[in-house]
Structure 1
Amino acid sequence: MKLAVPTAISAVIGAVLGAVVIFGATAAASNNTRPDIDRSGNADSSLLNQVEYGSR
């Protein structure tokens, strides 16, 4: 009887922590959208927003 209460408390804490980890991993894995690309730069004066292949 002395070990029943600590064992039950440990089992409940383990179950709660396991559920938190599972829900956290699921939430982190579901964030799979691509970010929008910033194309607001001027292509004639910017090398950061456009790929430069040289003059054609």
Structure 2
Amino acid sequence: MAERLRCSEWAVRTLVMAPGGLRAAKIAGRWLIEEEDLVAYVESQANRAKPRQRRRRAL
């Protein structure tokens, strides 16, 4: 799954553990993510606006 999301395995675990994050089930010591859950998560994140960064004034 990490390869499909182009991130590390730790990043995927973080998404799974986050409240309201990626749905997954741990079976026999392995995290299993269904295709429809992955698609739903990606679509839910696609329309989020990026937070604006404040610029600091030079002193």
For normalisation by structure 1, the TM-score amounts to 0.30
Larger RCO (CA within 8 A; separation ≥ 6): 2
Higher strand share: 2
Larger Rg: 1
